Amino acid sequence: MPRRQLVMIAVVLGAIIAAVVLLWRGEGLAGGFVLVALAAVVLLQMDARRRLSDLAADVRRNRAELRTAAARTSTQEAELKELGRQLNVSARAAGQARDHTAAAMDRFDQLEGLLAQQAEDAEKHRRTFHRDRRMLNRDHLTQIQALLQLHEQFAPRAPLPAVAGWAMEPTALVELVNVVARLRPQLVLECGSGTSTLWIAYALRRNGSGRVVALDHDVEYAHATAQVITEHGLSEWAHVRHAPLTPTDTPRGSMPWYSTDLTELTGIELLVVDGPPKATGELARYPALPMLADRLAPDARILFDDAHRPDEVRALDAWRETYPLRVEHKLAGRALLLRFDDPTAAAATS
C-alpha cells in the first residue's frame, strides 16, 4: 500500500482514538468533533498535496512530451525543408527536362522537315536528271544529224576541227551556212574564229564569191584556225587576224575590244558575233555594234551566238536602246539572226 494512504489511515485512526478517549474521560463531544475536524483538515491538506504532486508530475510529464513533440516537430520541419528543397530541385530538373524535351522535339521537327525537303529536292533532281538526260540524248542526236548535213553539203579535203568548247554547235553551223547561202554576202566579219570560220569559207566558196575576216584575241587560237583554213584550201575565202583585246571607249565606258585596223572593212553584210569569250569581261560582246555600226551595209544581218546567256541578253538589250534592231530569225541552237535596218540613223543616234 502506498505510504500516503498509510499516513491518512493513521491520522484517521488517531483522531478516532483521541475522540474516544475524550468521550471516555467525560470531555464531551465538542473535543471529539474538534479532533475529527482537525483530522479532516489534515486529510484534505494531504489530499490536496497529493493532487498538487500528481498535477506537478503531469505537468512535468506534459513538458517532457511537449519537448519531445517539439523536437519531433523540428525534425519534421527540417525533413519538410529538405523535402521542399528536393522538390524544388526536382521541379527545376523537370523544367529543364521539359525544356530539353521541347527543344529536342523542335529539333526533331526541323530534322523531319529537312529530311522531307531533301527527299523532295532529291526527287526533283531525279526527275530533272532524267529529263536532262533525255534532252541531252535528243540534243546529241540532233547535233549528229546537223554534222551529217554539213558533210552532205560539203566535201572537206582535210580533217575537221573538234566541235566543242567555244565552237558553235553543229545545228547553229547548219543555220549559219544556210544564211550565207541565202544572203550571198560579199563581206563577212566574224568576232572570234574557229570551226565557224571554216564552214563560212566553205559556204562562200560554194556561192562562188565573198570572203570572211575573223578576229581572234588569242594568238595560238588564231594561228590554229588559220592553219585549218590553209589545210582545207580556203585561204582565198577566209582570213584570220590576231587582234589583241585593248581598252576601247564605248557608250558604256571603257571595255576590252579587238585592236586591229578595220579601215578596209566597209559594207559588212553579215556580222557574226561569237567573241570575245565571256571570261574576258562583263558584257564582253557589247562593243561589237558600237565599234562596227558605221561599217555595216544597209540591211546587214548580225548572227549573235549564245543569245540565251544572261550577259548576252544584257548586251542585246543595250544594243536595242541605241540601234534599230529586230530579230529576224531564231536559229537552231543558241543563236539569233538580227536585222540592222537603218545603219545611217543608228550612226547618228550613237
CA separation for the pair 340, 324 (Å, rounded): 6
What's the confidence (pLDDT) of residue 3? 67
CA separation for the pair 140, 3 (Å, rounded): 133
Please give the span between the terminal C-alpha atoms of the chain, in angstroms, as a whole number. 145
Nearest to 191 by CA among 241, 150, 230, 226: 241
Q: Are 330 and 303 in contact (CB under 8 A)?
A: no
How far lies 102's CA from each of 89, 90, 99, 111, 265, in Å? 19, 18, 5, 14, 77
What's the confidence (pLDDT) of residue 147? 55
Grid cell digits, residue 235: 585561204
Q: Give Cβ neighbours of residue 183 (< 8 Å, ≥ 6 apart).
A: 269, 270, 301
What's the confidence (pLDDT) of residue 137? 46
Neighbour tally for 278: CB within 10 Å:
16
Residue with cell 499516513: 7
Largest CA distance in the chain: 193
- Give the bridge partners for 250, in sequence order: 253
Q: Are 228 and 252 in contact (CB under 8 A)?
A: no
What's the confidence (pLDDT) of residue 330? 87
Nearest to 213 by CA among 289, 166, 257, 270: 270
CA separation for the pair 145, 180 (Å, rounded): 20
Long-range contacts of 228-234 (CB under 8 A, 24+ apart): 228/158, 228/161, 228/198, 229/197, 229/198, 229/201, 231/157, 231/158, 231/159, 232/156, 232/157, 232/158, 232/198, 232/201, 232/202, 233/157, 233/158, 234/198, 234/201, 234/202, 234/205
What's the confidence (pLDDT) of residue 91? 78
Q: What angle do CA 323, 198, 179 make, to 5 degrees?
A: 45
Q: Omega into 2 within 30° of 0, i.e. cis?
A: no
- 326 phi, psi to nearest 5 deg: -145, 150
For residue 261, the 8-state DSSP code is -
- What pTM, to 2 d.p., does this model score? 0.58
- Please, what are the averages of pLDDT over each run of 10 residues along the chain (350 residues)? 66 70 65 66 71 80 84 84 83 80 81 80 70 51 57 63 58 87 96 92 95 96 94 95 95 93 92 91 94 94 92 94 90 84 51
